[in-house]
Structure 1
Amino acid sequence: MSFKPAKWPRRLRSQAWYGGTSRDAIYHRGWLKNQGYPDDLFDGRPVIGILNTWGDLTPCNGHLRELAEKVKAGVWEAGGFPLEVPVFSASENTFRPTAMMYRNLAAMAVEEVMRAQPIDGAVLLVGCDKTTPSLMMAAASVDLPSIVVSGGPMLNGWFRGERVGAGTHLWRFSEAVKAGEMSEADFLEAEAAVTRSSGTCNTMGTASTMASMAEALGMALSGNAAIPAVDSRRRVMAQLSGRRIVQMVRDDLRPSHILTRTAFENAIRVNAALGGSTNAVIHLLALAGRAGVNLTLDDWDRLGRDVPTIVNLQPSGDYLMEEFYYAGGLPVVIRALVEAGLVDGGALTVSGRTLAEEVAPARNWNEDVIRPLDRPLTRSGGIAVLRGNLAPDGAVLKPSAASPHLMRHRGRAVVFEDIDDYKARIGREDLDVDESCVLVLKMCGPRGYPGMPEVGNMGLPPKLLRKGVTDMVRISDARMSGTAYGTVVLHVAPEAARGGPLAVVRDGDMIELDVPARRLHLDIPEAELSRRLAELRLPQLRPEGGYGQLFFDHVMGADTGADFDFLRGCRGHDVPRESH
């Protein structure tokens, strides 16, 4: 894609605040000068907002204040004026009922910060799962020059000689305790080993997936996604990004130039090669809606279906992000896909160069971590989009994390009406369930929980775990952590709380899953399904007042990205009206 830089010098957006000798300009400059800034910083140089999602209660991002200083150094070096701005940070680790409920709030808040403040460009300093999509959504809506800098993954975890991944081994060890294969004391000992340094999850979970998506979309410099958080090269990346954003402002290189249909198609294929998180589906659908790109669930299936998964990382494979980086990281994957004709190397990136130009120097230093395309981890990767009378608007499944013997399955439904029902009954010895059954969980979609929590990878009944059962088909309108695994059908749409067919599934109904045929079917007569839907009476779920009510009233379905209906599209960066 060709891009023609804007002519320079030109009047910058920040000069609407700081330029001239009017009372208002003196007001804006004067107050900022109380921080000790000299006169010449207001002479028309680019003002760069460093939008920092650091917070003590967002531990994945706990090191971002240090990275912000390196970004500032790069901005200063390139002749810009850096100003750090703390922004809303939704922590996956602590937010209840779920961080996903606050992704849209963060995107809305950051959008307004970008529009209302005197900045000409932005560095999006992100890490934990929802911070990356929320800040990119905001940047797409405002369309100011923006570049993503990720905090990076934590170092490998090791426990008793075994490589352990954050999140992934939480689920595995938890199941082992229930199965009687691991003591609680050992589980507690493993806790410190799993998360042993600053950074995000070290598996190909949602944080690493979304960092990879930012790079694949062209919104981050090449190599950004995989550098460990504590590696000195992560700080170098931050400084180089600070330099680059100043030139992006001078060139007027904006998200609308980068977030094209081609960029999203590339990202979907890269996600397939990575064995990336199912959460990427929701986040990229929402981001495309902000960018004005018509992206659908069917695009995910069509574009990713024939792309092999070549990255051998947990939860789909064996290794962790540290090895991925040492093997060459995401540029190696993208280069392989470009050379195979699976990714369009002509897409523009924040560097001002094409994707192909950026990854040309990449070399694969470990072909067990990043496998050749002819020796993949899974021949057909991507995200499988399922449809049928149980999911008229679609549902998703991650083949690389599923059990091959369950990809075609027919089983009796064991139904949990909501998450509380599941928690109350899953451990009971008298639960009528065996390994051939299908676990069904309702009321955990965007409206139902509310917020769509990561509970779709339901823990198996302990009595089956003790028998050695390790996987079952599970179906819900919830999400699951990108670090999780199993034959799990997610994001069923319409969700139960909107009156979708999932709401009327009953214990004993037979359900058919056929992943190769992309089919999810509730095996009851059509007339019976229609009767149940007509008689359905949903509980009163709408919160009264506050953000909860706003969320319930305006959140869209998972099949379109679960954004707010009034936030889709680009609203631009026109300077707000002067108030003084």
Structure 2
Amino acid sequence: MTEAKKTRKLRSAEWFGTQDKNGFMYRSWMKNQGIPDHEFEGKPIIGICNTWSELTPCNAHFRKLAEHVKRGILEAGGFPVEFPVFSNGESNLRPTAMLTRNLASMDVEESIRGNPMDAVVLLVGCDKTTPALLMGAASVDLPTIVVTGGPMLNGKLGGKNIGSGTAVWQLHEQVKAGEISMHDFIAAEAGHSRSAGTCNTMGTASTMACMAESLGTSLPHNAAIPAVDARRYVLAHLSGMRIVEMVWEDLKLSKILTREAFENAIRTNAAIGGSTNAVIHLKAIAGRVGVPLELEDWTRVGKGTPTLVDLLPSGRFLMEEFYYAGGLPAVLRRLGEADLLPHKDALTVNGKTLWQNCHDAPIYDDEVVRPIAKPLIADGGICVLRGNLAPRGAVLKPSAATPALMQHRGRAVVFEDFDDYKARIMDPALEVDKDSVLVMKNCGPRGYPGMAEVGNMGLPPKLLAQGIKDMVRISDARMSGTAYGTVVLHVAPEAKAGGPLAVVREGDWIELDCANNRLHLDIPEAELQSRLEAWAANQQPDPADASGYRKLYVQHVLQADEGCDFDFLRGCRGSAVPRHSH
């Protein structure tokens, strides 16, 4: 042990390092697990924050992943302690996993701060587990490293690859259009999700894994190694070793999550064709460490960035091919060589800069990770829209949109909420044509509540039968990162909060102009204000919002442009050891 290690005071010593009543109690109860005395003598205690759950299928292999992290911790001279936290799985949890992202972050924060650990490894995978755990850990600010569960193997149907999530939207539209049978639709289930891991498309899970890596919070290649590839377990082992060294270096999360790191992540999201959900999650994480991040930063930093990764839902390939092509380090190298990586010297958890980690990264396939001169699309930066319909902003993902629809004017077909949409969208008598703009209200943070992924409204069957594949759609909802289309999302303020979206009427003209970042409801200003006043006068409280967690959520959730965190959770409360309970 070096002199630096001998002299550094470990946080866990506040529990285990005294020879009094309290030290006796903390050590004694831990010893009922068969822990010998020497494990309490100067070794870093490393928490392993595990989101394993059989109800979160993306994370169902995490028990094995945790064992490999433990091996690395033990090898490096630390002592691992694994603990569970709320696991909000996207595929099963109703009404939406986003409703409990903040709840999970509270669980993580208090579990870390209130327990004897010197650092923490975050085991993340399914969409909301990555931001939730980073948010919670950021509010404590111990040395922290992210280990992702990895994507599934490629889906298979009829001998061809299909992308998890994306295939659902595609096949369902084909069923409605009469292009495939229900038998074929059901047959796709077995091959759609055929191994452990997260969605194998560039959905929210893969996007947030890439965000974690580009932020510098994980080791290189963490984002893309398939869940069942042995190299995923090697990375877990190495992460366990590295977190012990981070304790001695006092490499806290706040030293990694800097303004520069977030700008790198924004640029990376454009290059990978990442999910619009990253806008909300990065804003929430930044809010926990006090880093100013605004919607305009997505325009300022991301605009003009070419999308290089040819991956579903924007492109052709899946996460397996992405890893084999070189993974995220290959993308970062492409960006850096083109002087498109804003901050090459940003620090990462392995103690090296982001550029040191990727400057000589191999690139094995120019079809999957395209050269700068041959991008999937020239400008993949998230399009931030403003106007009288979205005073505080809305977003659109250009790489998933139809170019011809990104400047469009059409009449609104209005759905008051998701139930209204489901009740009417299949009706052959619905007054809609290919130029209409589908508008859905009351699906935002407070309106759903939880801001469910319903913004990519399926098209009316009568238009699908005519060969129409895309329409402009506008809502205060989110959409799955696996989804696609010319979809305007995250309209703020939301309808439930009295935003202008609440008063859009059937037949109103709406103009979308992505080139000029504009979303406009074409009615006189006086008419808009009159409608809003009438709306406000008719509002009644929802009885469902009167109690339980839902009450807490609705009263304290921030709007989409602010990251949908709770207002009282923003900021870093630090790792000061709570007072004794004995």
Judge conservation of contact 1:17–1:28 (CA < 8 Å) in 2. Answer: yes
- Counterpart for residue 124 of structure 2: 126
Give the corresponding residue for 1:360.
359
Quote the Cα distance in structure 1 between the aligned partners of 2:135 and 2:4.
24
CA drift at 1:8: 5.1
SS for the counterpart of 1:374 is: coil
> Matches of 1:8 and 1:141 in 2, distance apart?
28
In structure 2, the partner of 1:544 is 546
Q: CA RMSD in A?
A: 1.0
Question: How far is the alpha carbon of 1:361 from its aligned partner?
Answer: 3.1
Deviation at 1:258, TM superposition (A): 0.5
Instruction: Look up the equivalent residue of 1:540 and give its one-letter code.
Output: P
2:98 is aligned with 1:97: no
Report percent identity of matched pairs. 65
**Alignment match, 1:239:** 237
Counterpart position of 2:190? 192
Indicate which of 332, 335, 344 corresponds to 2:333: 335
Secondary structure at 2:373 match in 1: coil
Q: 1:61-460 counterparts in 2 under 5 A?
A: 61-343=59-341, 344-460=343-459
CA distance in 1, matches of 2:83, 2:368: 38
Distance 2:106 2:381 in 1: 30
Partners of 1:129 and 1:210 within 8 A in 2: yes
Cα distance between partner residues in 1 of 2:182 and 2:510: 36
Shift of 1:446: 0.1
State the SS of the aligned residue for 2:485: coil
Normalising to structure 1: TM-score of the pair? 0.98
Choose the corresponding residue for 1:577, options 554, 562, 579. 579
Alpha-carbon distance in structure 2 between the residues aligned to 1:159 and 1:360: 38
Q: Residue type of the partner of 2:522?
A: D
In structure 1, distance between residues paired with 2:511 and 2:5: 60
Displacement of 1:6: 7.2
Shift of 1:55: 0.4
Within 1, Cα distance between the matches of 2:541 and 2:166? 35
Q: Which amino acid aligns with 2:561?
A: D
Structure 1 distance, partners of 2:314, 2:87, is: 28
Counterparts of 2:9 and 2:364, CA distance in 1: 47
Give the secondary-structure state (helix, strand or coil) at the position aligned to 2:122: strand
Gaps of 5+ in 2: none
Quote the Cα distance in structure 1 between the aligned partners of 2:256 and 2:54. Answer: 33
Indicate the residue corresponding to 2:464 in structure 1.
Answer: 465
**Where does 1:20-31 land on structure 2 (aligned, <5 Å)?**
20-31=18-29
The alpha carbon displacement at 1:477 in A equals 0.1
CA contact (8 A) 2:51 2:59 kept: yes
User: Do the aligned partners of 1:8 and 1:250 also contact (CA within 8 Å) in 2?
Assistant: no
Distance 1:6 1:505, change over 3 A: farther
Q: 2:336, 2:359 within 8 Å by CA — same for their partners in 1? A: no
- 1:100 offset after TM fit, Å? 0.2
Instruction: Give the Cα separation in 1 of the matches to 2:144 and 2:350.
Output: 11
- SS state of the match for residue 545, structure 2? coil
TM-superposed CA distance for 1:35, in Å, is 0.6
Taking the aligned partners of 1:195 and 1:480, their CA distance within structure 2 comes to 20
Q: Which of these residues, 561, 565, 582, is aligned with residue 559 of structure 1?
A: 561
CA distance in 1, matches of 2:179, 2:479: 24
**Residues 89-117 of structure 1, C-alpha deviation per residue, up to 9 Å, x if partnerless?**
10101111100000000001110000000
Q: Deviations over 1:345-375 (max 9, x none)?
A: 1000000110111112311100000000111
Contact 2:510 2:522 in 1 (8 A): yes
Per the TM alignment, residue 162 of structure 1 is displaced from its structure 2 partner at its CA by 2.3
* 1:142 match: secondary structure: coil
Unaligned runs of 5+ in 1: none
CA distance in 1 between counterparts of 2:438 and 2:113 reads: 46
Q: Does the CA-based 8 Å contact 2:395-2:489 persist in structure 1?
A: yes
Question: What one-letter code is carried by the residue in structure 2 that aligns with 1:562?
Answer: C
- Any idea what the Cα deviations from partners look like across 1:262-313, whole Å, max 9, x if unmatched? 0000000000000000000000000000010000000011111110000000
Distance apart, 1:20 and its partner CA: 2.0
1:11 corresponds to? 9
Question: How far apart are the structure 2 equivalents of 1:360 and 1:275?
Answer: 21
Partners of 1:78 and 1:115 in 2: how far apart?
23
Letter in 2 for 1:568: R
